[in-house]
């Protein structure tokens, strides 16, 4: 079976749904299809809070049919390959879909299998993660029932989605354990592949002060390479700037894992990817217009893009109106008129009731939305994160309104 549509959007996540809804608001007559195999759509940003005991995971899920914009054709299938010359997308079912204009919004994939022993260990023996909907309940239970010992929280090499989440869940867990009297019987370790607590220096310094104050032990340049869940051992590769890498084994009672992440293989295999450098394998788009660097009728949005920004829903919220207008510009024979400044936002939960609102763009430039010191944790930002942003997502963003 073959399909053909004027605009084909690959992916029904935050970027694909929001973009389609916006385009339909701009021109109801547009012929748009979304290729998406999943039955459910998730607001993933709330999973950290769910694992901390705030809210239910079911509140983060909606049927895909419920968020699919009216008038958009939903092709319930998965992408296998893109043929830019023939302007066709090959689907898993064997069908193809032709396009005049293509938007790649397929996000990224979680590479659990790149860490030896992890897939066999997840979901038991204290090995948990908030990075998949099905895994959130075990993370909630593991953190809530923790009675002491070594708790390791892993931060893999970037790029990953929501790079603040690995330490947000750590701060929530540590606060819970302090309130429950568990903290004196436990040690909390932040195992990060990075060289600082956060990639933006303005926020790295106050976060370093927070971990020092709470006796959380950061271990920089530590990359998780293997897990033995039954023995409760995690093996890290430590690489300093001066020496050869060495492997160090840590015992754990709780291990919160964030896997390495990558673009789907078809991006590179179809010739759509950046071919070298830090963004190799990710979709090759102009970092300002989000138009493909070589193929003018292709755009990208969200986590799949090979641009030096932070991969968050907040970034997508700024990107999708830009892509919508630039796509219509190109369809009208004009140059893209809108420019993306790299904006992203990371509401860094530092404890129950307090959030530090990190908003920044390319090159770490601060882009605060409020006239307040963004490096100071505030209760108002907690309510923004917990109450307002989910409402804005479901009622505004996926409808193409904000």
Catalytic positions = 162, 346
Whole-angstrom Cα distance, residue 22 to residue 327? 12
Cα end-to-end span (Å), the chain: 36
* CA 37 to chain CA mean position, Å: 19
* Cα 372 from chain centre: 26
* Residue 219: partners with Cβ closer than 8 Å, 6 or more residues away: 189, 190, 191, 192, 236, 238
H/E stretch holding 394: helix 389-395
For 258-346, where are the alpha helices, taking DSSP H only? 265-269, 313-331
Nearest to 131 by CA among 14, 239, 253, 257: 257
CB 327 within 8 A of CB 99: no
Contact 50, 142 (CB under 8 A): no
Strand pairing report for 261-262 and 254-256: unpaired
90, containing H or E segment: strand 88-91
Euclidean distance between CA atoms 135 and 123, whole angstroms: 7
Spatial separation of the C-alpha atoms in residues 303 and 229, rounded to whole Å: 30
- Sign (positive or negative) of CA dihedral 200, 205, 208, 213: negative
């Amino acid at each position: 079976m073959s399909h053909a549509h004027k605009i084909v959007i690959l992916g029904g996540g935050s970027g694909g749904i929001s973009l389609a809804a916006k385009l339909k608001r701009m021109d109801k007559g547009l012929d748009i299809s979304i290729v998406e195999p999943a039955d459910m759509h998730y607001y993933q940003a709330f999973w950290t809070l769910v694992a901390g005991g705030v809210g239910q995971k079911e509140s983060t899920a909606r049927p895909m049919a419920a968020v699919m914009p009216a008038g958009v054709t939903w092709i319930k299938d998965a992408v296998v390959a893109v043929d830019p010359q023939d302007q066709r997308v090959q689907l898993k079912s064997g069908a193809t879909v032709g396009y005049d204009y293509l938007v790649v919004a397929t996000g990224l994939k979680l590479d659990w299998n790149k860490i030896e022993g992890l897939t066999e260990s997840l979901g038991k023996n204290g090995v948990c993660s908030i990075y998949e909907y099905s895994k959130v309940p075990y993370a909630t239970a593991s953190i809530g029932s923790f009675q002491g010992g070594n708790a390791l929280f892993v931060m893999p090499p970037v790029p990953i989605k929501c790079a603040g989440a690995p330490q947000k869940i750590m701060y929530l867990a540590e606060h819970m354990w302090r309130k429950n009297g568990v903290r004196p019987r436990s040690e909390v370790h932040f195992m990060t592949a990075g060289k600082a607590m956060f990639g933006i220096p303005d926020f790295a310094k106050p976060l370093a002060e927070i971990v020092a104050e709470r006796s959380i032990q950061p271990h920089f340049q530590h990359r998780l390479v293997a897990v033995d869940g039954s023995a409760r051992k995690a093996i890290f590769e430590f690489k300093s700037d001066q020496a050869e890498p060495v492997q160090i084994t840590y015992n754990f009672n709780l291990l919160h894992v964030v896997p390495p992440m990558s673009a789907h293989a078809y991006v590179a295999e179809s010739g759509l990817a950046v071919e070298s450098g830090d963004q190799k394998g990710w979709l090759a788009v102009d970092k300002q217009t989000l138009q493909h660097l070589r193929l003018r009728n292709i755009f990208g949005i969200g986590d799949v893009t090979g641009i030096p920004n932070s991969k968050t829903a907040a970034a997508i919220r700024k990107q999708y109106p830009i892509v919508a207008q630039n796509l219509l510009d190109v369809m009208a024979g004009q140059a893209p008129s809108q420019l993306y400044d790299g904006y992203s936002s990371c509401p860094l939960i530092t404890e129950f009731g307090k959030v530090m609102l990190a908003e920044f763009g390319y090159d770490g430039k601060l882009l605060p939305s409020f006239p307040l010191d963004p490096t100071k944790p505030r209760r108002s930002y907690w309510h923004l994160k917990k109450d307002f942003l989910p409402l804005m997502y479901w009622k505004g963003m996926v409808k193409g309104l904000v």
